[in-house]
Each structure stands twice: as C-alpha cells, then as structure tokens.
Amino acid sequence: MALGFIKKVFTFGREKPAEEQAPAEVIAPDVPAPEQEAPVADVSPASELAEPTSPPSVPSGHLPHAGGDRLEDAAPVEHEQLAEKAAEAVVSHEPVAPEQAGKSEIVEPEQAKNAEADAVAEDTTPEPISTPVGEMSEKTEGGEEVSASSELSSESTEAQTDSEQSPETTETPAAAPILPKGFATASSIPEPAPEALKQKLSWFQRLRAGLARTSSQLTGQIAALFTKRKLDDQTLQDLEDLLIQADLGVETAMRVTDTLASERYGKDVTSEDVGRIMAQEIAKVLKPVAKPLQLDLSHKPHVILVVGVNGTGKTTTIGKLAAKLSGAGLKVMVAAGDTFRAAAIEQLKIWAERTKSEFIGTKIGADAAGLAFDAFQQAKANKSDVLIIDTAGRLQNKAELMAELEKIVRVLGKLDPDAPHTVLQTLDATTGQNALNQVEIFRNVAGVNGLIMTKLDGTARGGILVAISAKHKLPVYFIGVGEGVDDLEPFEAEDFANAIAGTGAGSSQ
C-alpha cells in the first residue's frame, strides 16, 4: 500500500507560479500577529470559544457550489488531465516563507508513496504551522478567484478584527468543552443551546416543507383509499403498496399495515388513524438510530472521514460540523481530501475560514490518501481535537474510485488502528431508492458507521431514510435543512416520522 507523506506547507494570498508551490498547504485560522507562533486554537479567547450559542463571526448564508467537474465526468483515465490542472489549481496559493519552508520536510507525492512504511514507522512530528496575519488579510481582501471568497472576505476580516480586539488568551480551556447538540463523548451529555426550543419549530417547519412531497402525496392517497371503505385485505394491500412507493421499505410498510389491521380490521378507518399509526411505526424504526455523534476526544484527533456520492453535501456538511465543533471550543482541522476538484478545495478552505478551523489541502490530482496521512500527522502535532476529512464524491459503481477510498481508510488505520473513528456518509434526500444502494456499497468499502441526510429542506424524498434505517441500523446523526452554516440539526426520530406521516407539530410542542 502506498502512502503520500507531504510535508511542505503553504500559506496563501499572493499569486505564485505553480512550480514554486508545495503540494500541501495548512492554513491556521485566526492567526496571531506575525511574531507570534502559537497554534491556532490558542489564539481564540476561551470565553469566545466556550459560547456555543453564538459562534463568533460565523456568517450564515450560502456557499455557491461550483459544480463544474463532477466526478462522474472525471473518469480515472482523466487523472492525467487533472494533474495537468495542478498548476492552475494552486496558482493562487502563496508558498510559505522561506524560513518556514525550511522547517518543513518536503516530500513530493510520488516520493511519499514510496516512503510510506518509513513514514509510519518514524512517526514524524511535523512543525506547528502559523500564518502571519498580513498574509491572511491579503487573501481575504484580494479573494477574486471564487465569488464566495469575496462575499466572505469582509466577514472574515471582521472576524479577525473582533478577535484582535478581544483580550488575549492563549490557554486551552481547562474544563471539557460543552459539546453542541447532536454530539456526545463517553463522559458528557450535550447541553441544549438556550434558544434551541425557539429554533426548533422553524427547522421542523423546514423539514416538514421538505418532506411535503412525500407526506402530501401519501396522505392524499391514503384519504382516497379509505373513503367509505372498511379495512379489509384489499385496502391493506393497497396501503402497503402506497407505503412502498413512498420509499419506506417493505418492512416498515408491513409494520404499519399489521398494526392497522390489529386495531381496525373490518372497521371504518380515517386517514388520521393511518397517519397516527404510520408516524408511530416509523418512529419505532428511527428511534434506535437517532443518536448523537460520539466523539472520543482522547484520540486527538478524533478523525471523521466524510464520504458519499457527488453533490450529496459532504463539503457543506463538513463546514456545518466544523462550525458546531469549533463554536463549542474544540480545535478542528479540516482536510481537503477531494483532490479532484479545485472548486471543492477552495470551497472547503472558505468553510475553514468561516468556522475558524485549521485547513490542510494539497494540489489537484494529488494522492488523497497521502493528504489524509499528512492531515492526521498535522492534526496530531497541533493537538487538534477533531480532524474532518473531505473526500471526492464518487459514484458507488466506480471501482477504481472506491479503491481509492479504501486506501484512505487503510492509511488512517496505520496511523491509529481505530481511525477513522467516524465514517460519515452524506445522503441526498432528493435521491430516493438509489440511496439504499449507496449505503450498502460505501459501508462495505469505507466502513460507514454513521449517516447524515442532507437537503431535507428541498423537495425531499425522505422515506428512504426509514428503509435504510430498517435495513442497516446505522446511526443517523444529523439532517441538513439548508445551505447555511446553522442548517444542520440533530436527527430526531419522532419529528422525522411526523413530518413524513403529516402528523404532529414537532417535538417542541
């Protein structure tokens, strides 16, 4: 097995010719004054970090998704072309100052592959990275490559100014951080944010609106089915068919019809009866999988690998997770393991800036497993609490790309036998049945052990999550209900069940 061990470090901001670029870059957020060399998390005041409900200067809003090079278009044979784009991809990255570069071991990706065994055995500790404020400012003020950069630049600059004006605190908070809702450690129960109840209804309304397609279709059909008809074998069969068409899966469909039959066989049935039983049976399937994401912070870093098909929301979800975690005072590093798309690297870098997370990336076309290796080493050296690794989107039927994912997992496992500690798969709620197959394959290849369903605010077909839960019983940690930084909610079984069945009003009421 080959590893890429990439140690050269970038800062960024001014344009440089590609040949002067190092393969990996690390950007520390909220960097101190130029003479300071403190690791990034130490720069943010403890008081600011300990306030999960008002993460400083994390703007909500949208990041455009630069769709361009979708992975299904970038077949493996195109890798050479992609590699040729490397210079283009890194041209906006400013290389590290010579004295910094001198501190870092520079290993090109190809050499790194050969040096895999040595690298693991040596357990080399990379130098901590710091980025002078001026260089970060230049980047944020000048960011013209990506429209989102310029949109965010003033906010980033504001954030920096806030941070500079705040009292200087370089101590890591002594007490264990209060984790945001939806996360847990073995020893902590997450505290609900004070305004959680207030926000609950609005996100439930968005969830309900997103699932309206599923629920209104279902409730309409159910109402039509039971108009002036008693519950008999035929109506039960018809109901079962409707539930299966709504992607709920055979198992759940049968649970619903069995329960309904046991209560109302031979009697009149209202659509309210069916809705209530449906919500109840769906909730029974979902409750066991609605779990907080367990973080083992003794790992330092707890590694979260994010996988999934193209465009399912991996990068966006990483940004949202990073915001929650860094807002709770954890030191977070995000790694741009999607080495196929320059836009994906750029997108993650922007999320890192927004969320005050450390960023590590490499050039387009580089070995993703090498980047994962490098990211782990860097996160460990910097004592990051959590490392979140993005991966290139891939269709589950592309064998070579799935093999690359396998390699990333293997490489991380060499560094820490338990890593990646969490393998999160994002599922696009608008997908329907294909999501079942996606989970099956990504689970086998990458050891997926948790799910996040995104885009439940759109025209979602969320029924499939019920079928997936019944079959795979994988924890569902969060759901995405929008493109904004706060639009990630812990998964609530009853709310989800009610939204599908068109019943209830969310657990906040």
Q: Which is nearer to ligand GTP, 139 or 341 (CB)?
A: 341
For helices 493-501 and 463-472, what crossing angle results, to 10°? 130
Give the interface segment with ligand GTP, choosing from 24-32, 145-153, 354-362, 454-462 (CB under 6 A).
454-462
Which of 454, 469, 498, 503: binder of ligand GTP (CB under 6 A)? 454
Instruction: Report the nearest approach of ligand GTP to the CB of residue 72 (Å).
Output: 9
Applying CB under 6 A, among 313, 420, 463, 504 the residue interacting with ligand GTP is 313
**Conformational region of residue 308, where left means phi above 0, alpha means psi within -120 to 50, and beta covers everything else:** left
At residue 335, the 3 state secondary structure works out as strand
Please work out the total of residues on this chain that contact ligand GTP, with binding judged by CB under 6 A: 25
Closest separation in Å from C-beta 160 to ligand GTP: 25
Tokens of 284: 């029974």
446 near ligand GTP (CB under 6 A): no
490 touches ligand GTP by CB under 6 A:
no
Per residue, the 3-state secondary structure of 182-231, as one string, reads CEEECCECCCCCCCHHHHHHHHHHHHHHHCHHHHHHHHHHHHHHHCCCEC
8 A C-beta contact, residue 132 and residue 52: no
Can you spell out the DSSP letters for 269-323? --HHHHHHHHHHHHHHHHGGGB--EE--TTSSSEEEEEE-STTSSHHHHHHHHHH
Q: Residue 412 or residue 481: which is nearer to ligand GTP going by CB?
A: 481
State yes or no: residue 460 binds ligand GTP (CB under 6 A): no
> What b/e string do you get for 272-289 counting C-beta neighbours within 10 Å, with b at 16 or more?
ebbbbbbbbbbbebbeeb
Q: Which is nearer to ligand GTP, 65 or 410 (CB)?
A: 65
Site for ligand GTP in 393-412 (CB under 6 A): 393
> What three-state secondary structure class fits 114?
helix
Instruction: Give CA–CA dist 39/336, Å, rounded.
Output: 20
How many CB atoms lie under 10 A from the CB of residue 311?
A: 19
Q: Which residue of 42, 281, 483, 489 would you call a contact of ligand GTP, by CB under 6 A?
A: 483
Is there binding between residue 480 and ligand GTP (CB under 6 A)? yes
* Binding region for ligand GTP (CB under 6 A) out of 217-225, 246-254, 311-319, 361-369: 311-319
Out of 21, 131, 185, 316, the residue judged to bind ligand GTP by CB under 6 A: 316
Which of the residues 232 through 291 are near ligand GTP (CB under 6 A)?
Answer: none
Q: Is the dihedral of CA 367, 368, 373, 375 positive or negative?
A: positive
Q: For residue 483, give the nearest of 27, 183, 151, 191 by alpha carbon.
A: 151
Rounded Cα gap, residues 239 and 230, in angstroms: 13
Strand order in the sheet with 450-454: 24-27, 358-362, 332-337, 386-391, 302-307, 422-428, 450-454, 476-480, 488-490
Which among 77-85, 357-365, 376-384, 479-487 is the span making contact with ligand GTP, rule CB under 6 A? 479-487
Give binding residues for GTP as ranges: 308-315, 390-394, 454-457
Nearer to ligand GTP, 58 or 136 (CB): 58
The distance of closest approach from Cβ of residue 391 to ligand GTP in the complex, given in angstroms and rounded to an integer, is 8
Cα–Cα distance measured from residue 446 to residue 145, given in angstroms and rounded to the nearest whole number:
33
Smallest distance from the beta carbon of 197 to ligand GTP, in angstroms? 22
Nearest distance in Å: CB 65, ligand GTP: 3
Contact between 482 and ligand GTP by CB under 6 A: the answer reads yes
435 sits near ligand GTP (criterion: CB under 6 A): no
Q: Is 311 in the site for ligand GTP (CB under 6 A)?
A: yes
Residues 439/415, Cβ–Cβ less than 8 Å: no
Out of 314, 324, 331, 380, the only residue in the binding site for ligand GTP (CB under 6 A) is 314
Which positions touch ligand GTP (CB under 6 A)?
A: 63, 65, 70, 308, 310-316, 338, 341, 344, 393, 426, 454-455, 457-458, 480-483, 487
